[in-house]
Amino acid sequence: MKNVTRWDTWQRLIYMSLFTIFFGLTEVLILIILVVQFISKLVRGEEIERLAQIGGEIGDYFRAIILFLTYRTETMPYPFGEWPMGVESGEVKGETGADNNSSTELAASIPMRTRKRAPRRRSRAAGSSD
């Protein structure tokens, strides 16, 4: 019961509440980036590199917030800590040279399940008899 009266326990709750709000706000930013990037691809035929880089930084920021919220780290994310720098220019879609904190490497580390499709069986026509 000693933790109930400790200030740092309640202070962490306050910070966790703030970072939950920040997480929601950055979700809106990702949605805006998504729309702008899609429109850019439609109109110009290419993505805006700077927005892709910002998207990587926001992805790393999401990761930092989640690690703090789930007690995996005591390091507080931005604005109480440093802003994550994201993936380097040219590495947004590639897999080379990314550091251990980049969203590219994080995504690459998640195992993907693949399954083979079974061959389709021909179904009997409705109303056919044997």
Would you write out the chain's pLDDT as a tens digit for each of its 130 residues? Answer: 787 888 888 999 999 999 999 999 999 999 999 999 999 999 999 999 999 999 999 999 999 999 999 999 999 998 888 888 765 544 545 444 444 444 445 444 444 344 344 455 555 555 555 5
Number of Cβ atoms within 10 Å of the Cβ of 77: 25
Q: How many domains does the chain have?
A: 1
What pLDDT is recorded for position 121?
A: 53
Q: Look at residue 113 and tell me if it is in a domain.
A: no
Q: Look at residue 60 and tell me if it is in a domain.
A: yes
Q: Look at residue 20 and tell me if it is in a domain.
A: yes
What pLDDT is recorded for position 129?
A: 53
Q: Look at residue 115 and tell me if it is in a domain.
A: no
What pLDDT is recorded for position 68?
A: 93
Q: Look at residue 66 and tell me if it is in a domain.
A: yes
What pLDDT is recorded for position 85?
A: 78
Is residue 81 within 8 Å of 104, Cβ to Cβ?
A: no
Q: Look at residue 129 and tell me if it is in a domain.
A: no
Tokens of 82: 């440093």
What pLDDT is recorded for position 88?
A: 52
Q: Look at residue 11 and tell me if it is in a domain.
A: yes
Alpha helices in 70-130 (DSSP H): 103-109
Task: Tell which phi-psi region holds residue 89, choosing left (phi > 0), alpha (psi between -120 and 50) or beta.
Answer: beta
Number of Cβ atoms within 10 Å of the Cβ of 88: 16
- The residue range of the domain holding 28 is 2-108
